[in-house]
Amino acid sequence: MITVLGWLAALALAAGTVMGFGVAPREATQGNVQRIMYLHVPTAWVAYLAFGVVLVASIAYLARRRPGADRLAHASAEVGVVFTGLTIAAGSIWGKPTWGTWWTWDARLTSVAILFVMYLGYLLLRGMIDDGERAARYCAVLGIVAALDVPLVHFSVYWWRTLHQPPSVLKPGAATMPPVILATLLVNVVAFTLLYVYFVTKRVRLLRAESEALA
């Protein structure tokens, strides 16, 4: 199953790369730098997904104390931190030619930075507590609290004045982009989602093996 997921993710990433550089046209206003959207938007989506999984798995763990739920939350948080870091990096590279700066403390970027720091704290907290059950409880609470920042990140461009443009896809109404660009973006979203599932599945299996070795 994991091997199949890996191959599917690799094929989807290859298809997304070909579409991003060989099928989707050059954007009229921004030029080729706009192509970084095919990395930036999918990684942001996966970050949302990852921390949503942390939220649900953390609630499930607190309700039933099942180790599998804690392992899922742990794995998803690790992968989510990686993808949030990629989102910030890709956004900075995109921001320099379009905004004239690598970083600005507007509402969207600041809320994403806070999200990144909170989940880094989540992972640090796990490493600081030797008692596995207590670490799981504390991290579950922190994972739930940190996930509440995700809606703040998403709606920040509506609630405050920011340099960051509003969503083009995850919004009410039809997507505001040409069909070929939308199709390319969706292929990459699927590719990075498959990559997320592959990484989390792999990490959960490793966490289970570690737990069984220590038992």
Q: Looking at the predicted structure, is the pLDDT value of residue 138 above 70?
A: yes
> Are the beta carbons of 108 and 157 closer than 8 angstroms?
yes
Classify the phi-psi angles of 152: left when phi > 0, otherwise alpha if psi is within -120 to 50, otherwise beta: alpha
Decide: 152 and 112 in contact? Cβ < 8 Å.
Answer: no
Helix and strand totals (H; E) in the chain: 7, 0
Q: The dihedral of CA 67, 150, 145, 117: what is its sign?
A: positive
Q: Encode pLDDT of 29-87 as tens digits.
A: 888 898 999 999 999 999 999 999 999 999 999 999 999 999 999 999 999 999 999 99
pLDDT computed for residue 174 by the predictor = 60
The predicted-structure confidence for 90-112, as pLDDT tens digits, reads as follows 999 998 998 888 988 888 999 99
Question: Per-residue pLDDT for 173 more than 60?
Answer: no
- Burial status of residue 214 (CB atoms within 10 A of its CB: 0-12, 13-18, 19 or more): exposed
Distance CA 87, CA 119 (A): 14
- What's phi and psi for 5, nearest 5 deg? -60, -45
Average pLDDT, the chain: 91
**Radius of gyration from C-alpha coordinates of the chain:** 18
